[in-house]
Amino acid sequence: MKINRRNFVALGAAGAASLAMPSIGRAQGAAPSFMSFTYAEDPNRPFVQAVLDGFKTSSGISVEVIGSAWGDTQRNILLRQRSRTLPTTAQIQDRWLPAMASMPEIVDLEAVFGKAGVDAMVDPAIAGMGRVGGKTIGLPIISGSIGMFANMEVLAKAGVSSIPTSLAEFRTALLAVRDKVPNSVPYGMATKNPGSVPLDVLLLVWAHGGRMIDESGKVLVKSDSGRAAMEFMAGLMRDRLVAPEIDRPDARRLFGQGNCAFYIDAPQARSFGRSFSGRGEAFDPVVMPMKMPVANAGIKPASIEWGHLVSMFATGPVAKDSPGARWVEYLMSDAVQTSFPLKLSALPGSKAGRAAPAVQSDAYLRNLVASAGTGMKHEIGVWSNSPELSTILTEETQAALLGQKNAGAAVDAMQSRMEQSMARRG
């Protein structure tokens, strides 16, 4: 089932007509529910539970938590919309919001808290992350960017003494890791799963000076930069510097266990490293955020804007003092914003949280900000037909990596298929 704007609208209308099903609007006075993909992650579940426990202690209200794997959350929300069992609140990836904005049940949070209330909760630098079509439909509970991370211990074993800044230096470092660190995957590039592959491809296309899709929806991958990026990735596979059948969770495990020198991830890379290494905070110096290596000095390193937001769902007006609204407000409170994001190795979403001494003194977070370079929108994920675009990108990239097509043919096919998808989207 493809998740897109039209599916949400159509299915929302079908759900609204089904009066026999329980109404989420009538559930606003009941204990709120919260769908969370962080809760579904074993290393991070205790941090969400601590927030749930803190809210119950401070308010006397229990929250029903619904664990949902990151890759299943959009689909689960869509299915719950059909059955009129949407959660009161949900943790949302920032790039999902455009596809969800036309859901009749998604709440404009300014209608609940007022514009001044929203402005007081959210750091103005990232306030736009939760706004779509003039409405605030998500508040950022954690933020940061997606970029490259280096394993300093693996690099030391390979005799690599400095972080590469160019793609030529990056490739040289990968060769050293391949030859000197047995059984390693030098670069844990995502090579399977349409939910993961686009991140690596986007960053490498940008690193060659190219674009995938511009703000107007024009597909731009068919270019000298796009072909160079595809040839670069195919060369990495030919030289055994990346591996087939690698997903983001695989790369995290390899990185934490000392079998991977570089991989792309969200800020939570440090938390995953702590868990998969079994060394906890002692592993922190090993995880180094780095600027994305680029093809030449004239290209600015870029990262992908990233954040987790909380959204609300209802079939009618939501009172500011309702249990669900109080839960959202608690997630943006100083008590949560000065602790929860740090547990996930990410930046807070509130201005007060970002100014907190614990954040300002965290070397990892300082390096994360310094390494971000130019923050770019996810050029695939922001479109309502992103599932189809992601599948096209992944299929054509895999064809080039596996030698089924040369780089030029793969890029040409990607351009044509994406143009057709964008045309169908209208």
pLDDT (tens digit, 9 = 90+) per residue, 284-319? 999 999 999 999 999 999 999 999 999 999 999 999
Domain positions in the chain: 5-144+306-372, 145-303+378-425
**pLDDT score of 29:** 52
Banded model confidence at residue 168, pLDDT cuts 50, 70, 90: very high
- Which regions of 223-286 does DSSP assign to beta strands (E)? 262-265
Sign of CA dihedral 139, 353, 40, 384: positive
pLDDT at position 17 is 35
Continuous segment of H or E residues that includes residue 36: strand 33-36
Q: How confident is the model at residue 159 (pLDDT cuts 50, 70, 90)?
A: very high
pLDDT of residue 125: 84
Calculate what percentage of the chain has a pLDDT beyond 90: 83
The reported pLDDT for the residue numbered 5 is 43
| Structure confidence by residue, pLDDT tens digits, 67-94 | 999 989 999 999 999 999 999 999 999 9
Pick from 244, 286, 262, 301: nearest CA to 171: 262
Which residues have C-beta within 8 Å of that of residue 134, sequence separation ≥ 6?
none
**By mean pLDDT, which of 13-17, 36-40, 97-101, 396-400 is the weakest?**
13-17
342-394 tens-digit pLDDT = 999 999 999 899 999 999 999 999 999 999 999 899 999 888 898 899 999 99
The Cα–Cα gap between 165 and 157 comes to 19
- Whether 5-144+306-372 and 145-303+378-425 share one fold: the answer is yes
Return the amino acid letter for 102. S
On the question of pLDDT at 13 being above 70, the answer is: no
**What CATH number does the domain located at 5-144+306-372 have?**
3.40.190.10
Q: Rounded mean pLDDT of 57-64?
A: 97
Average pLDDT of the segment spanning 234-262: 97
Q: What percent of the chain has pLDDT over 70?
A: 93
In this structure, are residues 212 and 192 in contact, taking their beta carbons and an 8 Å threshold?
A: no
126-131: average pLDDT? 90
pLDDT at position 71: 86
What pLDDT is recorded for position 33? 98
Are residues 130 and 143 in contact, defined by beta-carbon separation less than 8 angstroms?
no
The pTM of this model reads 0.83
Q: Which CATH number fits domain 145-303+378-425: 3.20.20.140, 3.40.190.10, 3.40.50.720, 3.50.50.60?
A: 3.40.190.10
Q: What is the pLDDT of residue 25?
A: 38
Average pLDDT, the chain: 92
SS3 92: strand
What is the Cα–Cα distance from 89 to 308, expressed in whole angstroms? 13
* CA–CA gap between residue 257 and residue 232 (Å, rounded): 26
Cβ–Cβ under 8 Å, residues 39 and 45: yes
